[in-house]
Amino acid sequence: MGQSLSELLSMLKEQKVLNYRQNKDQIILIPYKIKSYTINGVLKDAETGEHIIGASISILGTKLGTITNGYGYFSITLYEGTYDINVSHISYSSYSTTLKLNRNLYLKTSLMPKITQLQDIEISASDQNDYVQENIPSLQKIRINETQGQVPYFLGEVDVLQNALLQPGIKAIGEDASGIHVRGGSVDQNLILFDEATIYNPNHFFGLISVFNPEAVNDIRIMKGYSPPSYGGRASSVIEVRQKEGNNQKLSYSGGIGILSARGLIEGPIKKNKSSFLVSGRQSLLNLSLSDFGSSSVRRNRVRFQDLNIKLNTRPNTSNQFYLSGYYGSDRNAVGLSSVRRWGNRILNFRWSHLYSPQLFSNIALFVSDYNYRIENDEEPGAFIGRSSITDLGFKADFSFTFETSNEIIFGANSIFHSLLPGSREPFDPDGNSTNLIELDREKGLASALYLGHNVTFGNINLNYGFRYSTLHTFGPREVFLYESATPVDTAIVDTLLFREGELIESFGTLEPRLAINARINDRTSIKASFARNAQYIHLISNTIAPAPTDIWKLTDRYIPPLISDQYSLGLYKNFQGPKNLWEFSTEVYFKDITNNIQYRNGADLVFNENIETELIINNGRAYGLEVFLSKQTGKLTGWVSYSLSRAESRVPENDEIRFVLEDFDKTHDFSTSLNFKLSDRVSASSNFIYNTGIPVTLPTDKFVFEENLVPSFGARNNARIPDYHRLDLSLKFLGKSTKKNGAKRKNRDYWIFTIYNVYSRKNPYSYFFRESELNPGIGEIVQYSIFGSMIPAVTYNFKF
Amino acid sequence: MRIPITLLTILLASACDQLALGVEDVVTVELPDARNQITVEGWLTNTNQTQYIKLTRSSSFNSPEPVEAIEDATILVQARTGQTFPYTYDMEGIYLSDSAFAADSEAEYRVRIFLSDGQEIRSDFLATPEEVPLLRLFIGSFEENDPDLDDPITVFFPRIVAIDPVDVSNHYRWRFFKNGSPFTTPESITILDDRFFDGNLIPNNFRSFGYNRGDKMTVEFESISANAYDYLSLLSSQITSLGTSSGTTPARIPGNLKYVPSIDGQEIFGFFGIVSVSSDTLTVE
């Protein structure tokens, strides 16, 4: 078409379609080999230097893109060329740039936050599709510094776990009950990670607040179903709480004081842009007396707690970053005059993030986690000190290799050496003569896993699949009892096996396949499906309605097989975006099959029991449900509505038959909404409303009299429910002025929060108990017990400078 | 801004006066149908006395009527040796042995109950636990503030010296009497397993059994079987800690009696046990 052959060949070469070589009178055509290059980097907050997790890196005009990982790292491999790249995150102003890609690029990008903790700035409509783009199904994210994460709760406290309870599929039994239940799982089926280490008891103050000081927390991710194969060890969920890293730009202070606690944080650069530190503390203020509580469980209790968080990090170059973080928590609960209980979590974590090449990223961590409790009873005779502890020494190495476009291989290994002291009981006075020393055999086990996963995108479909092979090896010294039958309940010991120090007792192994599919129907809609198998080798042994800090943990052994859960989920995720508003909608159904669930025989004695297996019944369970979540992220009114319809059951032997019985924490309907309305530049109002079906209760059929005591006799287990729970909380937030009278900007910012918990003074039933009427002896009466019977007002003051 | 903040603070502070925590309300709840089972209560002791067995029939938990006494049964306690001890109905479901007798430490006993409809209820033969002596009873005291009184009051309570036999699994029950009347509240069921003090002084913390000056304090120290301990332990938890966060799941309390021959869907509530008693009495001065 008017072009000479030479011109045509030059054009094709320029357009990188063909290359050519002339050999005398021959022209040899050579297909142009398009080269691939990788863009990688770590995305940071421009004000604090904190890594930004879950931000989108989009290649405009294509469907290509990636998301920053849990360490703020991203990597995407593209063909040579010029690309318009957009970096966005719901909390930050997005950033766009044009890159000419003819070599590997390390992208240094910082995003400016749209909001800060002390100032609600209206979030403009953005092109965010966070939940649609997210390839992990059933993932709930709470960003603690955003309005979503700052929901005031009981006594004005902001709390990450209480906030999580407003999300679908996450429940607690009641207000005086520690622990959370995720999709029908028991409280011990949640892997709670603080940075990399495990937290075994995340509760202070009867579970009303968590050990996670909101000053020190950056964000929380809850994986309710599928979790990548790098995670494992618990059957129901992964709750990953990440501490802030420390501001590497400037020294800053923040804190607050309320009725329950005072807290503070100092953070700043050790060397600007290179290294930083963070120290945060929290102290309960009241040494709280609950003498007015009618519950015998809390009567005459005095409670206090402390938290200390530290973190150091340094980035000597773009390829390496080192972190050292720690947490020290302490609780004390004085019961009556002579008994004191103390417990606490302690963790120390070292992490090294390393970039071997633009494609290969690693994160290697060493950590120590310790949870212990101590109970002192100093009344003689019989005064004693009881102890129990669990100590983990852990190692994990995670690698991520990105190749070609949208192809990522993850692989790695992790190992935790558990050392558990199930219980020791020693005389309070070593010279006393009424208490024997009882020290149950320490349990030692090495829980390890190897994993491999592949994250790949084909067109509109993203596939995450892989497997995890987990093992547990238990070691001596230890005595193992053999019983008359394989099920040791109500049978006699026939032999005892003795294992020497370090001798292998038993080994267990489980292959855990994982699969998640994210099919994006269009930019605003996706369908996600997943399957995940999780094996759990460590168990909380507790037969009380709500777990207590003094409950013990136990490793899998000959009589307690690994707990296995298989979970299937299917969900629809859709965003609705108008000119001013962005709504996120998601709905999921799930089914969970639980094998080797632990139940307890009637009257099980679990305290300092060296034959604890004789008290346990191993059975199977199941849980299934529907979850709906609608969130509004922008505009003056923000917040979310959450609903779940669910059922959790366990097979238990009852009346000479085995049948499915509702779990104690089952709630058929669970609805919650959290709304925030910006009244002016400095005043905002928020509300939480919660409604859920009452938990199951076992009602008595008969009464009989034994030694002048009226005794209830119970029918089928969990044969009814207590009345439904509902509660409204309101709060008002007043921001201090941002400028001085002369117009200069204030260095310090502050705000007040006024909250009213349980606004309409609902006496929400916590439980029933059954007693003989004092007025009419011989007649039984049913008593509804409520933790709160009135509104609970509170005020907190918070500051930052 | 200061005015609304101050105002809100004052309003909240005044609302704090109205706090209601740990609220109990008696409620009406529709209960499942009652099963109306026979209930047996009886302890045979090693002291030579008139022994008793109480026989009642359970009724709906929220029935406005007390449990029904069974008056027309025939009861006897039978030693493995063949010796029998008949009981005769007295009142309120209580049957008394026709003559005083004591459980022999070498013997085993069972109860047989013949109902008027021809059904028989029976226990297995039970051994008499070895008696452990109560070595000394003395009186402790502490001061307690009474909001209605200016001065603290002195509360007296029993203190005991007793030693658990070494290398033997023992189970105990304490029973307390004030001026001849037993403490009968649910919390007064006081049982011990010697796992934690085998061969040592037996712990006792009886501050909740308060006496006043001039009261007659009687303490019975009973050795009971492991089965009796399990029964009382479960029964105690079912009537004291249910409904609290530290409470366990409600459960049936399996006793040690059965129909002979067995009847589908029918069970016997209650327990028949043998105790070896060592006791002492003091007057609080």
The pLDDT score that the predictor gives to residue A328 is 96
Span of A165-169, A176-180, A342-346, A560-564 with lowest mean pLDDT: A176-180
The pair of three-digit structure tokens given for residue A552, joined into one six-digit string = 């013990």
Q: What's the gap in Å between the CA of B99 and the closest CA on chain A?
A: 22
Quick one: pLDDT at residue A694?
A: 93
Q: How far are the Cα atoms of A52, A216, A217, A243, A324 from residue A277, in angstroms, in the given order?
A: 17, 12, 14, 12, 9
- Whether this model's ipTM surpasses 0.85 comes out as yes
Q: Provide the token pair at A488.
A: 């040791």
- For A431-468, the DSSP string reads T-SS---EEPPPEEEEEEEEEEEEEEEETTEEEEEEEE
* Selected residue with higher pLDDT from A123 and B90: B90
> If you average pLDDT over residues A400-421, what whole number do you get?
89
**Which pair of tokens denotes residue A319?**
């390829």
Asked if B205 and A382 count as a contact pair (C-beta separation under 8 A), the reply is yes
What is the structure's pLDDT at B1?
53
- Nearest chain A Cα distance for residue B118, angstroms: 23
Rounded distance between C-alpha atoms, residue B56 and residue B35, angstroms: 13
Question: What is the band of A117 on the pLDDT scale with cuts at 50, 70, 90?
Answer: very low
Look up residue B254 and give its amino acid: P
* Distance from the A635 Cα atom to the nearest Cα atom in chain B, whole angstroms: 24
Percent of chain A having pLDDT more than 90?
A: 40
Q: What is the pLDDT of residue A528?
A: 95
Facing residues of A794 across strands? A755
Q: How much is the pLDDT for A403?
A: 77
At residue A764, the 3 state secondary structure works out as coil
Would you give the DSSP letter of residue A72?
S
- Disruptive mutation site among B23, B201, B272 for chain A (greatest number of A CBs within 10 Å): B23
Q: Which residues of A touch B25 (CB under 8 A)?
A: 763, 783-784, 786
Interface of B with A in 94-153 (CB under 8 A): none
Rounded to whole angstroms, the Cα distance separating B99 from B86 reads 8
Amino acid A549 reads P
**Global confidence as pTM:** 0.86
Q: How confident is the model at residue A110 (pLDDT cuts 50, 70, 90)?
A: confident
- Is pLDDT larger for residue A634 or for residue A527? A527
Q: CA angle at residue A406 from A400 to A407, to 5 degrees? A: 50
Average pLDDT over residues A170-179: 79
CA distance B235 to chain A (A): 8
Q: Residue A17: pLDDT above 50?
A: yes
Query: pLDDT digit string (tens) for A288-346?
Result: 544 444 444 444 567 889 999 999 999 898 889 999 999 999 998 876 666 788 899 99
For range A205-221, the mean pLDDT: 86
Q: Residue A231: its pLDDT value, please?
A: 95
3-state SS, residue A188: helix
Q: Which residue of A has its CA nearest to B253?
A: A713
**How buried is A448 (Cβ within 10 angstroms: 0-12 exposed, 13-18 middle, 19+ buried)?**
middle
pLDDT at residue A124, rounded to an integer: 39
Q: Which residue has the higher pLDDT, A740 or B172?
A: B172
More confident residue, B45 or A208: B45
Question: Which residues on chain A are in Cβ contact (under 8 Å) with B4?
Answer: 734
pLDDT of residue A681: 85
Does the pLDDT at position B174 exceed 70?
yes
| Residue A1 pLDDT greater than 60, yes or no | no
The verdict on a CB contact (< 8 Å) between B21 and A293 is: yes
Q: Is B169 exposed, middle or buried (0-12, 13-18, 19+ CB in 10 A)?
A: exposed
Q: Of A69-83, A552-566, A589-603, B30-44, where does mean pLDDT reach its minimum?
A: A69-83
Weakest-pLDDT range from A30-39, A52-61, A111-120, A637-646: A111-120
Contacts of B176 (CB under 8 A, 6+ apart): B158, B182, B183, B188, B190, B206, B209, B217, B218, B219, B220
- Rounded to an integer, the average pLDDT of A5-24 is 78
- Give the residue from B53, B166, B245, B262 with the most A CB atoms within 10 Å of its CB, the best one to mutate: B245
pLDDT at residue A484, as a whole number: 84
Q: Which residues contact A664 (CB under 8 A, 6 or more apart)?
A: A173, A545, A695, A696, A718, B249
Residue B32 DSSP one-character state: P
**How many Cβ pairs within 8 Å bridge chains A and B?**
287
What does the mean pLDDT of chain B come to? 88
Instruction: Tell me the range of A91-100, A111-120, B53-62 where mean pLDDT is highest.
Output: B53-62
Q: What are phi and psi of B11, to 5 degrees?
A: -60, -40
pLDDT of residue A291: 45
d(CA A700, CA B33): 9
Q: What is the pLDDT of residue A472?
A: 97
**Contact (CB<8Å) A382/B203:** yes
CB contact under 8 A, A381 and B201: yes
